[in-house]
């Protein structure tokens, strides 16, 4: 029978030779391995000071994009919520009133946009399903918390803060999705 | 009078040295463990984590002191006390360097140069078993009792082979005094170490030293995975700290004894040439540094083995002790005796 991994080894019950029964050569070989690891480069990343470099298409915390004029892209169509395999997204839609044209790009917008980060599996299907370029996953690591309620990320935690923090660059992910690479 | 003051100073220095080395052994154990597992280890308390032992000590002291209701209170406190006291006592006979002259008289750089030094160490270390046994018994807990029974069985079994391998060294040296044993290895420009003459004896002694200090692969008395904590399951706060501390001091002591018995103590290659060119105090200091280097290497070796070999099963442990090490050490003794007879 062909094995799955080609890593299986034949087991034999042969009598151990004298040098094997002494165990000392085996112990010395073991000591050699541990001392090799002693001088090996360490894998640790000292987290708060050092941070791991993410790949360009890393899937982290979500961002709700705005367009060039600072208007929210999201029209609360609900496709992301449907696409979400973890059912993490809930949207409450509302109609844009007169005078709010500078806030929302189209006539319908998301009054509430909640993502339950305890459910979210960071698969990125929401951004793939979005027809309005509104939601993207960013390189930002979703922050941890002690309180379960704090894991439901509301709209104000995710919408791009263009006035104070500037735009979040998602061009790598956008291009990746268009080329089918992500 | 000056000699008494010097000896008191030596006792204090040795006490502080033992404590410091034990404290930093806990730190370096974690550091070495981390390095061997491709990690970095504690590095937050102070530069390179050097204040970690201090933090650990504070933690130990600040913890709640629990006396189990069903325990024997007196024995429960006596256990760690015995362990700690015997561990600290045993290093009194280790020679730290060649003789120096103080107020016109030659003084051994040794707290007590008693003529049965090695017997004294064996005796004191054997009392250390009582600390574990009493602690485990007084806890009134089955895991603690199992750990204590394991510890005493193991230590008694391996003391035999250890004693037998030491006898071979005593036969070649012709003395029980550790001071004489070390000076006896100063031949060949300070390279006539017993490890060359007694390789088998050294191996047996090394294995027994691991068993006596309850270090992996012989850490059955406190095997966390099987017995929770072994004999110190019920202990908390500084009483637990004393047990753990005593283990590290014992490791320091074992390393010192191995260095003195088999690795020439403070002797180092071409020491006679160095002696002619340096002053007495400086030479003694160099010798002390050499001995410390050897001791630190063996402490490192204890860590090194810990992260290499897994724990023995109890029947394997007994087999190794009684059926392999004991006969081997007797054969080693016989060979040594024959060679001494033939050389006469």
pLDDT tens-digit map of B209-239: 998 888 888 887 777 777 777 788 888 888 8
Cβ–Cβ gap A38/B36 under 8 Å: yes
Q: Which residues 231-260 of B have a C-beta within 8 angstroms of A?
A: none
Pairing mode of beta strands A135-137, A62-64: antiparallel
Give Cα separations from B37 to A42, B296, B309, B321 (angstroms).
9, 21, 14, 30
Work out the pLDDT band at A116, boundaries 50, 70, 90: very high
pLDDT score at A82 = 93
Neighbours of B32 (CB within 10 A): 21
Terminal CA-CA length for chain A = 38
- Could you read off the pLDDT of A148-158 as tens digits, one per residue? 989 999 998 88
Work out the pLDDT band at B298, boundaries 50, 70, 90: very high
Work out the pLDDT band at A141, boundaries 50, 70, 90: confident
pLDDT score at B67 = 86
What is the architecture, at CATH level 2, of domain A62-178? Answer: 2-Layer Sandwich (3.30)
Phi–psi pair at B271, nearest 5 degrees: -70, -25
pLDDT score at A181 = 62
Phi–psi pair at A31, nearest 5 degrees: -60, -35
Phi–psi pair at A73, nearest 5 degrees: -75, -30
CA angle B169, B170, B175 (to 5 degrees): 140
Q: In 3-state terms, what secondary structure has residue B100? A: strand
- Could you read off the pLDDT of A48-80 as tens digits, one per residue? 888 888 888 888 889 998 888 888 889 999 999
Instruction: Tell me, yes or no, if B328 comes closer than 8 A to chain A by beta carbon.
Output: no
Instruction: Tell me, yes or no, if A25 comes closer than 8 A to chain B by beta carbon.
Output: no
Rounded mean pLDDT of chain B? 86
Which of B128, B169, B199 is CA-nearest to residue B260?
Answer: B169
Here the contacts of B85-90 (C-beta below 8 Å, separation 24 or greater) are: B86/B124, B86/B125, B86/B127, B86/B128, B86/B131, B86/B246, B87/B18, B87/B128, B87/B245, B87/B246, B87/B247, B87/B249, B87/B250, B87/B253, B88/B15, B88/B18, B88/B249, B89/B124, B90/B120, B90/B121, B90/B124, B90/B125, B90/B250, B90/B253
Phi–psi pair at A66, nearest 5 degrees: -115, 160
ipTM above 0.85, yes or no: no
- Give counts: helices (H), strands (E), chain A: 6, 5
Q: Which residues 43-62 of B have a C-beta within 8 angstroms of A?
A: 43
Strands (E), chain B: 100-102, 105-107
A34 contacts on B by Cβ (under 8 Å): 36, 304, 307-308
CA separation for the pair B132, B77 (Å, rounded): 11
Instruction: Tell me, yes or no, if B305 comes closer than 8 A to chain A by beta carbon.
Output: yes
| B83 in Cβ contact with B243 (< 8 Å) | yes
Give Cα separations from B236 to A41, B49, B61, B136, B181 (angstroms).
37, 24, 9, 13, 41
Instruction: Tell me, yes or no, if B116 comes closer than 8 A to chain A by beta carbon.
Output: no
Instruction: Tell me, yes or no, if A82 comes closer than 8 A to chain B by beta carbon.
Output: no
pLDDT score at A182 = 61
Instruction: Tell me, yes or no, if B39 comes closer than 8 A to chain A by beta carbon.
Output: yes
Is pTM beyond 0.90? Reply is no
B35 contacts on A by Cβ (under 8 Å): 37-38, 42
Cβ–Cβ gap A35/B38 under 8 Å: no
**Residue among A34, A40, A42 whose CB faces B308 most closely:** A34
| B289 in Cβ contact with B125 (< 8 Å) | no
Residue B8 has pLDDT above 80, yes or no: yes
Percent of chain B surpassing pLDDT 70: 99
Instruction: Tell me, yes or no, if B325 comes closer than 8 A to chain A by beta carbon.
Output: no
Rounded mean pLDDT of chain A? 86
| Domain locations along chain A | 62-178
Range picked from A1-5, B83-87, B192-196, B235-239 for highest mean pLDDT: B83-87
Which of B223, B225, B248, B222 is CA-nearest to residue B302?
Answer: B248
CA–centroid distance for A107 within its chain: 31
Name which residue leads in pLDDT, B334 or A1.
B334
Work out the pLDDT band at A121, boundaries 50, 70, 90: very high
CA of B301, closest CA in chain A: separation in Å? 10
Name which residue leads in pLDDT, A170 or B307.
B307
pLDDT score at B172 = 86
Residue A166 has pLDDT above 70, yes or no: yes
Average pLDDT over residues B67-87: 88
CA separation for the pair B43, B35 (Å, rounded): 12
| B140 in Cβ contact with B134 (< 8 Å) | no
CA dihedral A116, A117, A122, A128 (to 10 degrees): 30
- Could you read off the pLDDT of B95-130 as tens digits, one per residue? 887 877 776 777 777 888 788 888 898 888 888 888
Instruction: Tell me, yes or no, if B315 comes closer than 8 A to chain A by beta carbon.
Output: no
- Please name the residue that has the structure tokens 């004298």: A18
């Amino acid at each position: 029978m062909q094995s799955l991994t080609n890593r299986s080894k034949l087991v034999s019950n042969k009598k151990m030779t004298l040098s094997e029964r002494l165990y000392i050569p085996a112990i010395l070989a073991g000591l050699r391995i541990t001392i090799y690891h002693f001088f090996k480069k360490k894998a640790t990343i000292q987290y708060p000071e050092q941070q791991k470099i993410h790949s360009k298409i890393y899937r982290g915390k979500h961002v709700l994009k705005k367009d060039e004029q600072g208007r929210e892209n999201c029209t609360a169509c609900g496709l992301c919520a449907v696409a979400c395999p973890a059912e993490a997204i809930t949207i409450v839609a509302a109609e844009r009133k007169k005078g709010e044209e500078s806030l929302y790009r189209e006539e319908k917008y998301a009054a509430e946009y909640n993502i339950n980060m305890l459910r979210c599996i960071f698969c990125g299907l929401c951004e793939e399903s979005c027809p309005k370029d509104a939601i993207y996953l960013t390189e930002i690591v979703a922050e941890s918390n002690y309180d379960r309620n704090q894991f439901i990320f509301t709209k104000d935690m995710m919408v791009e803060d263009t006035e104070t923090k500037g735009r979040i660059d998602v061009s790598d992910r956008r291009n990746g999705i268009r080329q089918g690479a992500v | 009078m000056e000699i008494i003051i010097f000896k008191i100073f030596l006792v204090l220095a040795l006490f502080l040295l033992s404590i410091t080395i034990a404290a930093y052994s806990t730190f370096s154990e974690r550091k070495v463990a981390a390095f061997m597992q491709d990690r970095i280890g504690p590095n937050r308390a102070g530069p390179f984590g050097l204040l970690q032992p201090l933090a650990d000590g504070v933690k130990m002291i600040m913890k709640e002191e629990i006396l189990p209701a069903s325990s024997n209170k007196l024995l429960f406190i006596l256990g760690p006390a015995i362990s700690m006291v015997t561990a600290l006592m045993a290093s009194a006979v280790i020679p730290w360097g060649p003789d120096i002259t103080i107020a016109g008289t030659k003084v051994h750089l040794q707290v007590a140069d008693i003529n049965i030094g090695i017997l004294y160490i064996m005796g004191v270390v054997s009392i250390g078993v009582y600390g574990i046994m009493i602690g485990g018994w007084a806890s009134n807990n089955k895991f603690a009792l199992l750990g204590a029974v394991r510890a005493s069985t193991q230590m008694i079994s391996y003391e035999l082979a250890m004693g037998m391998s030491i006898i071979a060294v005593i036969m070649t040296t012709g003395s029980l005094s550790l001071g004489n044993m070390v000076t006896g290895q100063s031949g060949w420009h300070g390279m006539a170490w017993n490890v060359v003459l007694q390789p088998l004896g050294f191996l047996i002694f090394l294995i027994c030293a691991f068993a006596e200090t309850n270090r992996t692969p012989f850490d059955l008395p406190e095997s966390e995975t099987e017995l929770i904590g072994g004999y110190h399951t019920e202990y908390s706060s500084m009483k637990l700290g004393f047990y753990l501390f005593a283990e590290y001091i014992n490791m320091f002591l074992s390393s010192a004894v191995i260095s003195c018995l088999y690795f020439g103590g403070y002797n180092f290659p071409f020491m006679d040439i160095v002696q002619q060119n340096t002053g007495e105090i400086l030479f003694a200091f160099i010798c002390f540094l050499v001995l410390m280097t050897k001791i630190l290497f063996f402490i490192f070796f204890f860590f090194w083995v810990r992260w290499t070999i897994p724990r023995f099963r109890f029947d394997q442990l007994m087999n190794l002790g009684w059926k392999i090490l004991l006969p081997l050490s007797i054969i080693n003794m016989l060979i040594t005796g024959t060679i001494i007879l033939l050389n006469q």
